[in-house]
Each structure stands twice: as structure tokens, then as C-alpha cells.
Structure 1
Amino acid sequence: MPKTLEPTAEHAPVAAFAPLDARVFRASQLTRGPWHPQQQHAGPPIALVSHALEAAAQPHGLLHMARLTANLLRPVPIADIEVRVQEDYVGRNAGHFSAVALADGKELIRATALFQREGEVDIPQGLPGHPLPKAPKTPADSPVQRFPFAHGEIGYPDLVESRIAAGRMFEGPSAVWFRLSYPLVQGQKPSPYQRVAVAADSGNGISAILDLSTHVFVNSDLTINLLRRQVGEWICLDARTHLSSHGGGLAESALYDEVGLIGRATQSLFVRKRE
């Protein structure tokens, strides 16, 4: 097992990850998720993969991440995480990249991403569905609410500030604003895409319609599609969960910044009753 890391009073976490070299990052307790005290919430390590993918695409002038798909192969420990990136194909206006995140030699996340070249395009007035919709409320009009799995230990609820724009968290369809309270990578300003990734994996949680004490509804993937880059520090998930009677489900989130719609995120769910 990889060595887990505990904070001390002298070494309180200052970011989700501390870079050890160009490819290896040490996770802090700010990444702790709700399922196990030594396992990360999937949002921060997916954002770390995005960080590495963006660095690979940037030299080609491909600055817009149009899609990120992360396959979650194993629980991600709070440990040293290595991220390896591969350039699959780069054309004039688009490039495909893949990445893998590992700990102790074991693959944890496999991801693919599509990056596009940005350019100004004059959009005609009066197109159907335009102007794009906005979130139900602004962050300023949304009350602060911590995640219900915050129980005194440092973790994901401390990494992000959360505010309710509609509904009730973990009680059905809801809209929640997220803002990073700490950097993703120590000493670096998080990119818009990293801010989105940290939040987007929470869609199935904030829109839960089953009781966590009686049912398991775990996602093993996350796909984010973005029509433009996020503006500002806030990202809103307007999320809902759909279930079948055959052990499957789908969580989908409309993604917003303070300007309006920026894209969507989906998660495939495995559902079962607890024994």
C-alpha cells in the first residue's frame, strides 16, 4: 500500500497537492472524500490529471479543453500520485491526449481529453437557445452550506466553499456553487478547467435521491463537455440523478459560471442496496 500522509499543526495543508517533481504530486488531507478516511474525493485527482493534460496541449496552441473523460479504475489514496500524459493525435485545430494517474505503480485513473484552438467567432443574434441560460441564483444570493459529510476531519469540504442555489444538497435535484478555498497545486493558480473538474464529480452526491445508509450509488467515470472556458472563481452544478431498476443510473449536471451555461457533466452510476 502507498504511504498515507497525515497533517501536523506545523504542516497544515496549503493546497490539494504539492509538486514533488514534474510528474509526481503529494496529496494533502484536503482531498479526503466521504467514503474512506484515507481515500480521495475523485474531483481533486481528476483536476490534477487536467493540470497535466493542459500542460501537454499548451505548446501546440490548443488552449480550450472541450472534453475530459476520466475512468476511475480504483479508489485514489491520499498519497503520492504520478501523472503520465501521452499525445495521441494533434491536428491544426484539435488535439487528442490521454493520461494515467498512478500510486505505488497501480493505475487509478485513465483519462482522455480533446483540446481545441480558440478564436473569435461572430455569433448571429436570435439563435434558438440563445442567449445561453444562467444558474438559478448568483453566488451572492446563495446561502453557504458545507457538505453533509464534513465531520471534523480535514477534507474536500474544506478544499471548496459551497453555496446552495436551488434545492437541498443530497436530497434530490439541486444546484450548488463551488469555489476553491485552496490552490489545487501548491504555488500555482488553478485554471478554469481545473476549477470545473474539482466540482463536477460531486454531481451524483449533491443530487442523491437514495439514502446513503441504505444504498450504494457509485460512479466509475466522469465526462465533462465544455462549450467555453469558465470565467471567474465560481462554478455551479445544477444536478439531477436518474435511476433504473436494473442496478444502473445516470447523474447529469448543467455547468455554469456567473456569466451563464458553460457545459455539462455526466456520471454513470452503479446502484445496489447495502447488505
Structure 2
Amino acid sequence: MTHQLNEELEKVLADGDFYFESLGEGRFRSSWHSQGAWNPHEQHMGPASGILAYALENFEPREDMRIARISYEIHGLIHAGEFEITTRMVRPGRTIELIEAEMTAKGRTSIVARAWRVITADTNEVAGIEDRSIPGPETCAVQAISEQWPGGYIKSIEMRANEQLRPGRGFAWLRTPYALVDTKDASDMSSLVGMIDTANGVVPRVNPSEGTWIYPNVDLQIHMYRRPVGKWLGLEVQQSFGTDGIGLTSTVLHDVAGPFGRAEQILTVRSR
């Protein structure tokens, strides 16, 4: 049945070299490459968070500011196909601004994202980072993540990791050949943010192919003390499951220049 559903969706959804097709005026259509892992009719939170970051980054941009934090609240199923993103200023300011983007589809809210935009300055004199660097992607072997996880998005990414990767802890590098938007104007930041949610599937404590447990995240919080660059995203992940149905995936974020921030995801852990 799942195979049949996948084939039907593949015929319906655009299958180009991008995750989203821009339809104008804040409207988009998801491609096959953004299909989720838990439900064949939904988008994966990875590309969905990327397109929201794209909308936030292009909302009333200021050259003297950059996004330092994005928080995503997942309201429910992220429907595949057409959707709309509306953006607004929540808290204007001279040195800090809070902006919001809401994704809606089929008349319902799917995700609400809020971002703090902070004024930039030269702080080289006092700069310092405590997060350690990890070995680069060239030192790691290709991992077949699509053998563990289903869906068009997982098939769209390349994952590399070393032999220390284990259930619950490890690091991996990701990249994709596909553009975030068919307009090809997404920044490195938005494109890399579009892969961060994958962290929840990099070191799964329970193999998803067994089908006995599910553990989707209900949110995604991203903090960036440096603007990320390049095409490779490094995820240094640890995943914990509590005893009462709640888990947490915590990640140090890296690009080829080193660590640039952290991400957290609260999980709802449920037996099938």
C-alpha cells in the first residue's frame, strides 16, 4: 500500500532539481524531494524549515542584521503540495527584531517560525568558540541513510559518517544536489537550515525500519553564533529518550569552516 501511495504522489508532485516551486505572492508547491519519512502525504520538516528560513531571511531584510535564532513550532501534519507562507514583524527595533512566518495548507496552520534578527558588529577582539571541530566530510564514508528511513527527502541527501556513529550519539555530514527553491536564490544559511531537522534521524536509538516505535519532533530550535556557509552541513548529535514518552535530540551544528551553532528537538516517543 505504501509503495502505491508513493507512486501516486510521485506523479502528482513536481519532480525537478529543487525542493519547492515558487508560485508567487508567498505561495509554493513542494516537490517529491521534500516528502517526509513518517507519512507519505506530508513534507519532511527539513526542507519545510528551510523554506520558512528563506521567507524570514527575505522579509524586510537589513544589511546590518542577521538571523541569530529560529524557533519552529510544528502544529500538525505538514501537507505535501501547495501551501502559503505569510510573514510579519512581531517586534521592530534598532538593534534586535522579532519576525514571524506561518505556513498554512488546506486551510490549517502547519508550522509557525519565529526568528530573532540581531544587529552585527566587529567582535573579533573578544571572539571565542567552545564547541570543538569534527573531522570533515572528506574523512568519512558514505552512509546509506535511505536504507533506514523512507521518503523522497531522505533519498535526496548524501550522508557521510565515520565508524564511531552509533544509536544515540555520533556525527555525520549531509549535502544535497537540489536547490531549496526553483528560483535558485536561496542563501547558504537557508539551504543548510533546510537539512538540520535530519539530526533526529542520524543516530536513532530505535531502528525506524523495525516499525515498533515512532519519535517525531514537535519543534525545532536553532541558535547560530556564526552565519553558516557552503554546501556541507555537519551534525554532531546525541539523542535521549526519557521514561515517560518524551525525548530530546541535541545537535552541535557545523559547516566546512567549523561549528556555527546548536539545535534542539523535543520528541514524542510512541509505540506503534
Global fold match (TM > 0.5): yes
Q: 1:226 and 1:238, CA in 2 relative to 1: closer, same or farther beyond 3 A?
A: same
Give yes or no for the alignment of 1:133 onto 2:132.
yes
User: How far 1:34 sits from its partner (Å)?
Assistant: 1.4
The correspondence for 2:33, drawn from 12, 30, 47, is 30
Residue 203 of structure 1 aligns with which residue? 199
| Cα RMSD (Å) | 2.3
Of 179, 185, 204, which aligns to 1:183? 179
Following superposition of structure 1 onto structure 2, how do residues 81-100 of structure 1 map, counting pairs within 5 Å?
81-100=83-102
Partners of 2:151 and 2:168 lie apart in 1 by 26
> Could you say if the C-alpha distance between residues 112 and 62 of structure 1 is closer, same or farther in structure 2, counting changes exceeding 3 Å?
farther
Question: Which segment is superposed worse, 207-216 or 65-74?
Answer: 207-216
Hey, what's the Cα distance between the residues in 2 that align with 1:123 and 1:215? Answer: 49
How many pairs are equivalent? 263
Give the alignment of 1:207-218 within 5 angstroms.
Answer: 207-212=203-208, 213-218=211-216
Check whether the contact 1:249–1:269 (CA below 8 A) recurs between aligned residues. yes
Name stretches of at least 5 consecutive residues in structure 1 with no aligned partner: none
Provide the rounded CA distance (Å) in 2 between the counterparts of 1:142 and 1:195.
Answer: 22
Task: After TM superposition, list the pairs within 5 Å mapping 1:27-106 onto structure 2.
Answer: 27-58=30-61, 60-61=62-63, 63-106=65-108
| Alpha-carbon distance in 1 for matches of 2:124, 2:228 | 19
Q: How does 1:112-151 map to 2 (within 5 A)?
A: 112-124=114-126, 133-135=132-134, 137-149=135-147
1:263 partner amino acid? G
Change (3 A) 1:272 1:5: closer
Is it true that 1:19 corresponds to 2:13 in the alignment? no
Cα deviation, 1:181-239, whole Å, max 9, x if unaligned, reads 11000022431321232221112211211243221212110000000111211110111
Q: Partners in 2 of 1:165 and 1:97 — Cα distance?
A: 38
Measure, in 1, the Cα distance between the counterparts of 2:96 and 2:66: 9
Partners of 1:33 and 1:154 in 2: how far apart? 5
| Whole-angstrom CA distance in 2 between matches of 1:158 and 1:27 | 15
Q: Are the counterparts in 1 of residues 214 and 271 from structure 2 also a CA contact under 8 Å? A: yes
Q: Does the 8 Å CA contact 2:36/2:43 hold for their aligned counterparts?
A: yes
Name the CA distance, whole Å, in 1 between partners of 2:22 and 2:212: 39
- Any unmatched runs of 5+ in structure 2? 1-7
Aligned partner of residue 268 in structure 2, secondary structure: strand
Query: How far off its partner does 1:124 sit?
Result: 4.1
Task: Decide which of 227, 240, 244 is 1:246's aligned counterpart.
Answer: 244
- Distance across 1 between alignment mates of 2:203 and 2:151: 23
Equivalent residue of 2:132, what SS? Answer: coil
> What is the SS of the residue equivalent to 1:184?
strand
Q: CA deviation at 1:66?
A: 0.6
| Match in the other structure for 2:4 | none
- Change in CA separation of 1:180 and 1:211 when aligned onto 2, cut-off 3 Å: closer
Q: 2:111 aligns with which of 109, 112, 116?
A: 109
Cα shift at 1:133: 2.0
User: Is residue 57–residue 115 contact of structure 1 (8 Å, CA) maintained in 2?
Assistant: no
Aligned to 1:163: 160
Query: 1: CA distance between counterparts of 2:244 and 2:49?
Result: 28
SS at match of 1:197: helix
C-alpha contact 2:37 2:154 (8 A) present in aligned 1: no
**Contact 1:62/1:94 (CA < 8 Å) preserved in 2?**
no
Matched, 1:271 2:240: no
Q: Pick the aligned partner of 2:232 from 227, 231, 234.
A: 234
Tell me the TM-score normalized by structure 2: 0.88
Percent of aligned pairs with the same amino acid:
27
Q: Structure 1 CA distance, aligned partners of 2:200 and 2:72?
A: 15
DSSP 3-state at the match of 1:53: helix
String of CA shifts for 1:60-119, please: whole Å, max 9, x gaps: 335421100111111212211100001011211211001110112211001111111222
Contact 1:172 1:209 in 2 (8 A): yes
Does 1:6 pair with 2:4? Answer: no
